Chain A
C-alpha cells in the first residue's frame, strides 16, 4: 500500500477544507514546530484507519470517537458555526495497492458531524461514519461494508501496523521493550512464518503415532522378552503422557506469561503516573496523619494552658510583693496583739487602782463633769463658779479619773494560722518568681504548635493539590489498583518464567529417556516384528525429531537475521556521528527469550546507554523487523508513518535516520520538529532549514531516492492559547 493523498477538513487544529497533502514514493517529511499540529496530522491517519486518536492521558491505545466526540472538530470551525447549523469534520486517505498486478486505488473517508443547538450546546453523536471507495475505470465507487474489513486488512494488516506506524518515544517503547525477554520472541512469532513449522511437527507426530501403534501391536504378539517389552511399553506410554501434559503445561504457562506480559505492557504506559500518584497519595496520608496529630496536640495544649492558671499557680503571678506585705502585716499583727495585751493589762491595773483611790459615795465622773458645767456642787448644793476653790475642788476629782477604756473584747489569736500562711508563701516564693518565665515558655510552645499546625496544613494542602494535578494530568483515578495490578503482573511473569524453565527441563529429560526406550524396543523387536514396521517407525521417529530441530534452527536463523538487519540499520544511523555506538546482539535468556543488548569491541555488554543510543537501538530493531523478513517484505509493501521519532537525536543522526528510512521503506512519512529555523521575518514563526534539506535531498537523489517536504504553519498573530483561532496550514516546500 502506498499513501497518495491526505485531505483534512475541520479536523482538530486543521480548519477549513483546503488541507491537502500529496505524498510520493520515497521520503516524505512533514516539518512542524511544537504546537503546530504534528501529532494531529498523525492522528488523521489513525482516525481514518482505526476510528481513534492518540490518548494523551498516558494510557496506551487509542481514544475512540465515542469518547472524543465533538473534540474531533476544529474549534475555529465550531466558533464560526451558527446556532442550528452543523460542522462536519472529515479525513480522506487515498491509497494505492500495488500487490495484485494492476494497482488498485482506494479512498478511505471518515466523517463526523456535530450540530449547534445554542451558544454552548452541541449535539455530538457517539459514532463516526466510514466509507471505503474503490477506483473503477473513471470514478470511485463504494465498496460494500461487508468487504471493508478484508480490504483494510489487505491494505495494511492490523498486526503489522504498530511496527510501521508509531508515535514518538512512547510508541517505540511499546513496540520494543528492551527489558522484556519475550518481546523479540513475540515480534518474530507475529511477523515471521515461524508457525508454519508447527504444522510439520504435528503431521510427523501423527504419522509416527500410527506407525508406532502398528509396531506395538505386533510386538505384543511376541513371546520373547514379553515382560521387559511390556515394562518398556508401559513406561513409554506414561512418559509420552507426561511429555504431552508438559507440552500442555508449557503452552499454558507460555500463554499465561504472554497474558501477564500484555497486562504488564498495557499497564506500563500508565504505571509511571500511577506509581507517582500512589507515592503522593501515601505522602498525603502521612501528611494528613501528621496534621491531625498536631491539631490534637495543639488543642490539648491550649486546654492545658487555661488549667495551668491553677495547676501551675499562674494565678499567683506578681504576688511576690504581697508576700513581703504579708510579712509586714504579720509583724504588725504580732505588734498589735502584743499592744492589745499590754493595754488590757494596763487598763486592768488602772481599774484596779481607780477602785482603790475613789471612796464610796464619790460621784461618778459624769456627774462631776455636769457639776463643773453647771458650776454648782450638787453634793453640798452650793455654787462653785469657775476659778473658785470649790470649782477647783470639784475639778480635782477628775484629775485622777482614768481614761475610759473600751471593755476588752475577747479575740482569737490567729498568729499561728497567719504564720503558716507565711511559711507556705515562703515555700512557693521561688516558684512564683518563675511564673512569668513559665508563662512565656508555654505561650512560645503554643505558638510553635500553632505554627506547626499551619505548616502541616500547608504541606497537606500541597500534597492534595499534587495528587489532584497528577490525577488530572494522567486521567487516572485508580492509581493504587494499577500499581497493585502491575505488581501482580510482574510476579506472574516471573512465576510463569520459572514454570517454563522447569517444565522444559523436565520435558527434555523425559524425551531423552523415551529415545533410550525406543532404541531398546527396536532391538527387542528384531525378528519378532515385520522389518517394514520397525523401519517405518524408525524413519518417522527421526522425522519428528528432525522437524523439531529444524523449527528451532529456523527460529535461531530468524533471530540472527533480525540481529544482522538491526545492526545494518544501527550502524548506518550511528556511524556517521563518529561517537561510540557498539553492536547489537540478541542475547538468549534462560526462559527461551531474547533480549537486545549493545556489545563493545571486547564483546562486553555496555550498560547505561544514553537515550540517543537507546532510541536508535529500538528504531533499528523496528526497521529490522520490517526489513529482515525478505519473504514478507513489509518495508516494500507498507509505508512508514512516524511522528517525532528522532527527538533524542542530534542533527547528524537525524539526517542519517532520514537516509536510512528512505533506504529501508518504499514510502515513509516522517513528521518532525527538526529541520526548522526561527524565521527572522515573522515573530514566533519558523522556516525550513533549506541548507540541511538541500543536503539531505542531494544525498537521497544520489541514492536514487526522492524527498518531498511539507511544512505545518500558522498565520501570523495567531496564538496557540486561543483554540478557537487555531488554523494550521500545510504548505509544500520546494527544496
Chain B
C-alpha cells in the first residue's frame, strides 16, 4: 500500500469530508482546487504530512513531534 493509497483511505472517510467540506471526488484525487475552503486544504495537507512522517519516522514520538511542528508552521 503506497503512501498515496493511505492518504486516500483517510480522505475517503465520509465524516471527515462532511466536517471539512471536502468533496468526495476531489478527496479521491487528493488535490484541492483553490475554490475550496482553507479547512479542506488544511486537512489534506495535514493528512499528507501525517502519512509521510508516520511512514518515515523511526519512532512514534518523533513522528508526533514532526506532525505538531508542521501544524504550528501551517497555522501561524
List A residues at the B interface (Cβ < 8 Å).
193, 196, 199-200, 202-204, 206-207, 209-211, 532, 535-536, 539-540, 542-543, 545-547, 549-550, 553-554, 631
Contacts and interface: CB of A to CB of B under 8 A. Distances in A.
B72 A203 contact: no
Given A193-B1, A200-B50, A539 B60 contact: no
B52 to A, nearest CB: 11
Given A200-B54, A542-B19, A543-B46, A631 B1 contact: yes
A68 B73 CA distance: 67
Contact of A207 (B10, B16, B51, B67): B67
Nearest to B6: A200
A568 B29 CA distance: 31
A554 B46 CA distance: 20
Contacts of B75: 532, 535-536
B10 A550 contact: yes
A550 B7 CA distance: 11
Tell me if A's interface is mostly helix, strand, loop or mixed: helix
Contacts of A547: 10
B71 interface: yes
A206 B67 CA distance: 10
Contact of B42 (A193, A532, A539): A539
A542 B16 contact: yes
Contact of A539 (B9, B10, B57, B71): B71
Contacts of B26: none
Interface string B17-54: 00100000000000000000000001100110011011
A204 B50 contact: yes
A618 B53 CA distance: 41
B61 A546 contact: no
A556 B67 CA distance: 28
A72 to B, nearest CB: 44
B54 A199 contact: yes
Given A207-B63, A536-B72, 17 more contacts: A199-B60, A202-B60, A203-B64, A203-B67, A206-B61, A206-B63, A206-B64, A207-B68, A211-B71, A536-B75, A540-B68, A542-B16, A542-B19, A546-B15, A546-B16, A549-B13, A549-B15
Q: How many residues of B sit at the interface, in one of the four size bands?
A: 20 to 34
7 contacts: A199-B60, A200-B51, A207-B64, A210-B68, A211-B68, A540-B67, A542-B43
A346 B8 CA distance: 152
B41 to A, nearest CB: 12
Contact of B13 (A193, A539, A550): A550
Contacts of A631: 1
Nearest to A211: B68
A546 B10 contact: yes
A193 B68 CA distance: 26
A203 B16 contact: no
A677 B18 CA distance: 66
Residue among A209, A542, A546, A547 with most chain B CB within 10 A: A546
A546 B47 CA distance: 10
Nearest to A210: B68
A213 to B, nearest CB: 11
A543 B50 contact: yes
B10 to A, nearest CB: 6
Contacts of B10: 546-547, 550
A539 B43 contact: yes
Contacts of A196: 1
Given A539-B43, A540-B71, A542-B19, A203 B1 contact: no
Contacts of B72: 532, 536
Contact of B54 (A203, A536, A542, A553): A203
Contacts of A542: 16, 19, 43
B55 to A, nearest CB: 9
A531 to B, nearest CB: 8
Residue among A203, A545, A549 with most chain B CB within 10 A: A203
Nearest to B57: A203
Contacts of A532: 72, 75-76
Contacts of A535: 75
A206 B60 contact: yes
Contacts of A210: 64-65, 68
Contacts of B47: 543
Nearest to B16: A546
Contact of A203 (B13, B19, B53): B53
A107 B38 CA distance: 60
A15 to B, nearest CB: 51
B34 to A, nearest CB: 20
A203 B63 contact: yes
Nearest to A554: B9
Contacts of B15: 545-546, 549
A547 B54 CA distance: 12
Contacts of B63: 203, 206-207
Nearest to A531: B75
Residue among B6, B63, B71 with most chain A CB within 10 A: B71
